[in-house]
Amino acid sequence: MSTRKPPSAPRCAALVGPYLSGKTSLLESVLSLTGAVSRRGSVRESNTVGDGTAEARARQMSTELNVATTDYLGETWTFLDCPGFIELAQDAFNALSVVDLAVVVCEPEPQKVLTLAPLLRFLDERNIPHLVFVNKMDLPGGSIRATLEALQGLSTRPLVLREIPIRDGEKISGFVDLVSERAFRWSEAQRSELIQLPETVADREKEARAEMLEAIADFDDALLESCWKTSSQSRGGSTPASPATCSRI
Ligand SMILES: Nc1nc2c(ncn2[C@@H]2O[C@H](COP(=O)(O)OP(=O)(O)O)[C@@H](O)[C@H]2O)c(=O)[nH]1
Ligand SMILES: [Mg+2]
């Protein structure tokens, strides 16, 4: 029996969040990993797909919406990378009114996420589907747990981890996807590599997955069933690997 679902209509996602959290870099990674561009540019080298206007390059920041389309697993996604600069916030709110999904990009620092309060309120009040992507996990000192607690204080909806980090000493070397129960090792600017679930993270994975399923069970039985299926299929090795850029929370 085929496990493939029929492709959906084209979808649109907004990348929103504070200035410098990494939205334009995330867009570049998505485009590169899905094959829309052959070489991953970098904001520091001023050669990204986004921020291509003279003004954005000169200011080294997004000064207007960046729009790019790519395909993944047979589905078409258009991304609206919104400027995070506070004086351009209206551009982000306008984009959020038309998208299927908002990806809130932030850094793993509780103090910094407090600035997300108006954005999360906007998403909550309008019932806009959203996920939080905690970026810059390669930098030392970030805390997922403290960041999640700070975010929960700003959101009326329960927030649960979708991925947990794999630590290697002080550094984070990869993550476990709690839906498929697959572990991945990060490689700089490359597709994450599927690895055996490390023993050191097995207990934490069970605990975090139980929390995630419990939260889902409170409001969506179909989604709960789909999570169970995805995990058993991936243990059988029949589903494609998750994208390296999937959600961190
Ligand atoms: N260490 C680290 N730096 C990042 C990461 N993502 C983005 N950056 C850097 O953060 C800065 C801002 O990135 P940018 O994508 O322009 O952020 P935006 O303002 O949210 O669009 C740039 O110098 C990027 O190179 C990341 O995952 N890790
Ligand atoms: Mg930007």
Pick one of 3.40.50.300, 3.60.70.12, 3.10.20.740, 3.30.465.10 as the CATH number of 8-159.
3.40.50.300
Given ligand 1 and candidates 15, 21, 25, which is best to mutate, with the most ligand atoms within 8 Å of its CB? Answer: 25
| SS3 of residue 125 by DSSP | helix
Distance 107 CA to ligand 1 centre (A): 10
Distance 120 CA to ligand 2 centre (A): 19
Q: What pLDDT does 34 receive?
A: 94
pLDDT at 241 over 90: no
In terms of Cβ atoms closer than 10 Å to its own Cβ (0-12, 13-18, 19+), residue 16 is buried
Neighbours of ion ligand 2 (CB under 5 A): 23-24, 62
What digits encode the pLDDT tens for the residues 114-126?
999 999 999 999 9
Inter-residue contact 12 to 99 (CB < 8 Å): yes
Residue extent(s) of CATH 3.40.50.300 domains in the chain: 8-159
Which has more pLDDT, 151 or 231? 151
Inter-residue contact 142 to 249 (CB < 8 Å): no
Q: What percent of the chain has pLDDT over 70?
A: 91
Phi, psi for 200 (deg, rounded to 5): -65, -20
Q: What pLDDT does 236 receive?
A: 55
CB-defined site of ligand 1, < 6 Å? 19-25, 42-44, 61-62, 84, 135-136, 138-139
Q: What is the mean pLDDT of residues 40-48?
A: 89
Q: What pLDDT does 87 receive?
A: 83
Given ligand 1 and candidates 20, 40, 188, which is best to mutate, with the most ligand atoms within 8 Å of its CB? Answer: 20
| SS3 of residue 72 by DSSP | strand
Q: What pLDDT does 237 receive?
A: 47
Q: What is the mean pLDDT of residues 234-244?
A: 44
For ligand 1, atom 19, the nearest C-alpha belongs to 20
What digits encode the pLDDT tens for the residues 56-96?
988 888 898 999 999 999 999 999 999 988 888 899 999 99
Q: What pLDDT does 15 receive?
A: 98
Q: What percent of the chain has pLDDT over 90?
A: 62
Q: List the alpha helices (DSSP H) in 13-164.
A: 23-33, 54-59, 89-96, 110-113, 117-125, 144-152
Q: Which atom of ligand 1 is nearest to the CA of 19?
A: 19
| SS3 of residue 6 by DSSP | coil
Q: What pLDDT does 93 receive?
A: 94
> How high is the mean pLDDT of the chain?
88
Q: What pLDDT does 95 receive?
A: 95
Q: CA 151 to CA 40: how far, in whole Å?
A: 30
What digits encode the pLDDT tens for the residues 163-206?
999 998 888 999 999 999 999 999 877 889 999 999 999 999 99
Pairing of strands 130-134, 101-106: parallel
Q: Which atom of ligand 1 is nearest to the CA of 28?
A: 15
Distance 139 CA to ligand 2 centre (A): 19
Q: What pLDDT does 86 receive?
A: 83
Q: CA 23 to CA 106: how far, in whole Å?
A: 9
pLDDT at 216 over 70: yes
Q: What pLDDT does 244 receive?
A: 31
Which ligand gives the minimal distance to the CA of 108?
1
Which has more pLDDT, 140 or 156? 156
Of the pLDDT bands very low, low, confident and very high (cuts 50, 70, 90), residue 235 is: low
Q: What is the mean pLDDT of residues 229-242?
A: 57
Which ligand gives the minimal distance to the CA of 18?
1
pTM of the model: 0.89
Query: What is the 8-class DSSP label of residue 104?
Result: E
